[in-house]
Each structure stands twice: as structure tokens, then as C-alpha cells.
């Protein structure tokens, strides 16, 4: 089933928002959660490759600041997430109830407000 999904992702690479690499990220994350060590780099590399579909890689090779920050953020985000999964926290996480419906549009509005201010 995984091979069929990977084959479909390869065939439908263009219409998929994150391409074949994006389709492989959940599997890479599951492998990294089950096995420590070098496999932690697999989701990090895939997340970075997802962002190379545009001209960002060319601009990063020219050492432009924004593309370098974007690619390094995409690389380090899964590593931070995997590290946080291994930690034990003492605080309680609130369950997402009705307030969660407003979170997504609310944070998008906050980002637009920040973009407008800057």
C-alpha cells in the first residue's frame, strides 16, 4: 500500500502541493520516531527538499538571506519537533474545543496585521 501511495505521489508530483517529497514526510517522521540517530535527518532533508520546488534553491546558492533562512527553518523544524516529542512536560495541554475553530483564521489575521505593520 505504501509503494502504491509513493508511486501515485511520483506520478502526481506536479498537482500535489508539496510533491512527492511531501507525501514521503509522514513515513519519514514515523521512521524517525521509532528509530533514533541518523534517521532523524530523513524528515529534515525531505522538508528542505519540499521547499526547493520554486526558485528558492537558486537564490539560496547565491547566499541570499531569506532563502537561506527559509531552507534552514524547513530543515530544523522536524528536528525540533522530534526532540520535543522525547521530552517530558509537567504542564497540561488544553483540549482543543470550540476556541480551536477560530485559531486558524485568527492567526492568519494576526500574520496579515504584522505584514501590514512591517
* Residue range 38-82, pLDDT digits in tens: 889 999 999 998 888 777 888 888 998 998 999 999 999 999 999
**Which pLDDT belongs to residue 52?**
81
**Which pLDDT belongs to residue 37?**
85
**Which pLDDT belongs to residue 24?**
86
Could you tell me what percent of the chain has a pLDDT over 90? 30
Mean pLDDT, the chain, whole residue set: 86
Grid coordinates belonging to 4: 502504491
d(CA 17, CA 2): 19
**Residue in the structure block whose three cell numbers are 504542564:** 91
**Which pLDDT belongs to residue 72?**
93
pTM across the whole model: 0.69
d(CA 25, CA 102): 27
The answer to whether 49 touches 20, Cβ cutoff 8 Å, is no
Q: What are phi and psi of 116, to 5 degrees?
A: -70, -40
- The yes-or-no verdict on residue 94 having pLDDT over 80 is no
The answer to whether 79 touches 46, Cβ cutoff 8 Å, is no
Amino acid at each position: 500500500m505504501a509503494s502504491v501511495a509513493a508511486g501515485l505521489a511520483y506520478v502526481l508530483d506536479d498537482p500535489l502541493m508539496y510533491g512527492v517529497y511531501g507525501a514521503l514526510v509522514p513515513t519519514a517522521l514515523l521512521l524517525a520516531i521509532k528509530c533514533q540517530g541518523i534517521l532523524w535527518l530523513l524528515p529534515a532533508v525531505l522538508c528542505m527538499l519540499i521547499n526547493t520546488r520554486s526558485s528558492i534553491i537558486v537564490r539560496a546558492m547565491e547566499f541570499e538571506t531569506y532563502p537561506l533562512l527559509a531552507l534552514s527553518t524547513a530543515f530544523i523544524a522536524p528536528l525540533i519537533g522530534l526532540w520535543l516529542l522525547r521530552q517530558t512536560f509537567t504542564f497540561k495541554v488544553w483540549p482543543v474545543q470550540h476556541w480551536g475553530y477560530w485559531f486558524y483564521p485568527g492567526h492568519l489575521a494576526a500574520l496579515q496585521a504584522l505584514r501590514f505593520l512591517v
